[in-house]
Amino acid sequence: MQRTYSFIVPVYNRPQEIRELLESFLVLHFSDPFEIVIVEDGSTETAEAVVKEFSESLEISYYFKPNSGPGDSRNFGMQKAKGNYYIILDSDCLLPSHYLETVDYFLQNNYYDCYGGADAAHQNFTKLQKAINYVMTSFFTTGGIRGNSKSTTTFEPRSFNMGISEAAFKATNGFSKIHPGEDPDLSQRILKAGFKTTFIPNAFVYHKRRATWKKFYIQVKKFGLVRPILNKWHPKAAKITFWFPTFFVLFTIASILCSFLISLLYIFPLGGYVFLIFIDSSIKNKNLLIGVMSVWAMFVQFFGYGLAFLKSNFFIHGLNKEPEKQFPKLFFK
């Protein structure tokens, strides 16, 4: 059966992001028809006028619905879509011109019912966005699992850049109510349903990061709270690497205390790691300031995630609390 692609994009109060995303669609190198489904998730500042500006150049379907979260909005979009292979994007992404050609060529030669791609920093992104992108994708901070499939054994696509077949969607009923964490949850349920997932090299998107330190901290904190819940739902997918940010927090505290109480030598390993992050980011981004900001972003990420992960483990696994009752803000009703 021939694949027909439908892009699914949920949006909440971000019309400017939709404009920039649709502009990137205009320069896609792909000759076959495809559609774009924009799902407005109860926004007060809608993207309807923006969508109309592009309606003559692109095949777009626009839907407005009450707020129910990104996962449910993606499900809504897939139910409305005309295609049989859905490509899910976040509204804060931009597509490189080769994106759909790359995806289609890969699936023609190696078909999978679900795929994911990497995220990258566009040259026009702010220094903060580039610093955050570095710590979210670097081998030295996350093992590169968000930007390189070679470091994983079973790839879990993320919903900022994820493809799923109509068959896999119907078999799993799509995304659950948890947020964040709805994408690794769906990836695990897709695998349990007998489908295979993969990473497509070069099918990357330019993914804007949180625009402020506070928003970034809140994001990684939620990631830390969610992971123990996912580990409880999918215990076979749990990995020791999920504990690494928590170990780093304890290591940092111990290093500082020992350097004051015993010897300054105890701070050297931590200092060496910080210097490595600074040098690597500065070289890759060709900017010393981004290198400095990457060091701070690394601490924000590890402390935000690591402490939240420890807290969630205490309640979910230690006290055996119900996730929805203990952390109701992580679930849409």
**pLDDT, tens only, 82-135:** 999 999 999 999 999 999 999 999 999 999 999 999 988 888 889 999 999 999
235 and 317 Cβ atoms separated by less than 8 Å:
no
**Interatomic CA distance for residues 105 and 91, integer angstroms:** 25
Given a cut of 90, whether residue 154 has pLDDT beyond it is: no
Q: Write the DSSP symbol of residue 284.
A: H
Beta-carbon neighbour count of residue 237 at 10 Å? 17
Return the structure tokens found at 238: 């749990």
pLDDT at 227 over 80: yes
Q: Residue 220, SS3?
A: helix
Picking from 104, 117, 232, the residue whose alpha carbon sits closest to that of residue 178 is 232
- Residues β-bridged to residue 140: none
Same domain flag for 68 and 100? yes
- Which residues are within 8 A (CB) of 44 and not within 5 positions of it... i.e. 6 or more apart? 13
Contact 170, 193 (CB under 8 A): no
Q: What is the pLDDT of residues 313-330, one digit of tens each?
A: 999 999 999 999 999 999
- The whole-number pLDDT of residue 278 equals 98
Q: Is residue 139 part of a domain?
A: no
Q: Is residue 167 part of a domain?
A: yes
- Is residue 7 within 8 Å of residue 36, measured between CB atoms? yes
300, 214 contact by CB (below 8 A) = no
User: Residue 117: its pLDDT value, please?
Assistant: 94
What SS3 state is found at 117?
Answer: coil
* The residue to which tokens 């799902």 are assigned: 39
Instruction: Please state the domain count of the chain.
Output: 2
Is 152 contained in some domain? no
Residue 9: φ, ψ to 5°: -130, 105
* Judgement on whether residues 10 and 105 belong to the same structural domain of the protein: yes
Length of the chain: 333
CA angle (20 as vertex; 14, 26 as ends), nearest 5? 135
Cβ–Cβ < 8 Å for 224, 312? yes
- Give me the pLDDT at residue 120, please: 85
The predicted pLDDT at position 153 comes to 43
Radius of gyration of the chain (CA): 21
Q: pLDDT tens digits, residue range 267-322?
A: 999 999 999 999 999 999 999 999 999 999 999 999 999 999 999 999 999 999 99
215 part of a folded domain? no
Q: Name which of 215, 224, 185 is nearest 327 in CA terms.
A: 224
User: By residue range, what is the domain housing residue 253?
Assistant: 232-330
How many whole angstroms separate alpha carbon 222 and alpha carbon 218?
Answer: 6
pLDDT mean across residues, the chain: 94
Q: Read off the pTM.
A: 0.91
Tell me: do 193 and 308 sit in the same domain: no
Same domain for 113 and 72?
yes
As to burial, measured by CB atoms within 10 angstroms (0-12 exposed, 13-18 middle, 19+ buried), residue 326 is middle
Q: How many CA atoms lie within 13 A of 53 on its CB side?
A: 13
pLDDT at 219 over 50: yes
Structure confidence at residue 152 (pLDDT)? 45
Q: Are residues 109 and 60 in the same domain?
A: yes
- Report pLDDT for 144: 61
pLDDT (tens digit, 9 = 90+) per residue, 174-217? 999 999 999 999 999 999 999 999 999 899 999 887 679 999 99
Q: Is residue 22 part of a domain?
A: yes
Instruction: Report whether pLDDT(41) > 90.
Output: yes
CATH number of the domain within which 82 lies: 3.90.550.10
